[in-house]
Structure 1
Amino acid sequence: MTSIALENIGSDFADLARRVEGGETIVVTRAGKPILDLVPHRRKGGIDYAAGEAFLRAHGIERTAGFIADDFDDPLPEDFLIRPLPGP
């Protein structure tokens, strides 16, 4: 990891940008203390809910995000934990 003083960024910015594009992280300092990092841009990950809903609709599954079954709060049968799982 390379460090550079804030005062020196103006003259070196294009070179720093090329180095960051290459995957390097540059620490920018003020009075010898780190104040920010220049890091390569990364596309945000996460869940694409719209794509998930489109997939479900394409496969004939109708539901909406946040669906809770009507019997969600109903008590479970007494033998729920000891009953064998259904076969394949």
Structure 2
Amino acid sequence: MKINMHEAGANLSKLGERVWHGERVVITKAGKPYLDLVPHKRELKPRRPGRFEGQIKLADDFNEEIKEVTSGFEGDE
């Protein structure tokens, strides 16, 4: 949806609801795209390496090659 700056100011609450529900709104100035109205995304917390240490178990043969699988990718049938 495109809407001019003056109309956007008068209908900001309604536009905000539309954007929040997934609609794209472009605010125009002098008939040209000027602003995109987007919903606020909360900032993600930085990842912390090692927080699952000791909780994940891998089988002893986890890194073993399975010929039936790799030959299909490599064309060695």
Q: Does 1:55 align with 2:47?
A: no
Aligned residues: 57
Q: Give the conservation status (yes or no) of the 8 Å contact 1:6–1:28.
A: yes
Instruction: After TM superposition, list the pairs within 5 Å mapping 1:73-84 onto structure 2.
Output: none
TM-score normalised by L of structure 2: 0.57
Calculate percent identity across the aligned residue pairs. Answer: 37
Q: Which amino acid aligns with 2:17?
A: R
How far apart in 1 are the matches of 2:30 and 2:38? 21
TM-score normalised by L of structure 1: 0.51
How far apart in 2 are the matches of 1:54 and 1:44? 20
Q: Which amino acid aligns with 1:54?
A: R
Displacement over 2 Å in runs of 4+: 39-47
Cα root mean square deviation, aligned: 2.7
Whose relative contact order is higher, 1 or 2, with alpha carbons under 8 Å and at least 6 apart?
2
How far apart in 1 are the matches of 2:45 and 2:13? 31
Structure 1: which 5+ residue stretches go unaligned?
Answer: 61-86
Instruction: After TM superposition, list the pairs within 5 Å mapping 1:1-88 onto structure 2.
Output: 2-43=1-42, 48=47, 50=48, 52-56=49-53, 59=54, 88=64
Q: Give the conservation status (yes or no) of the 8 Å contact 1:27–1:34.
A: yes
Structure 2: which 5+ residue stretches go unaligned?
Answer: 56-62, 65-77
Q: CA-to-partner distance for each residue in 1:11-48, whole Å, 9 max, x for gaps?
A: 10011011111110100110011111112334556961
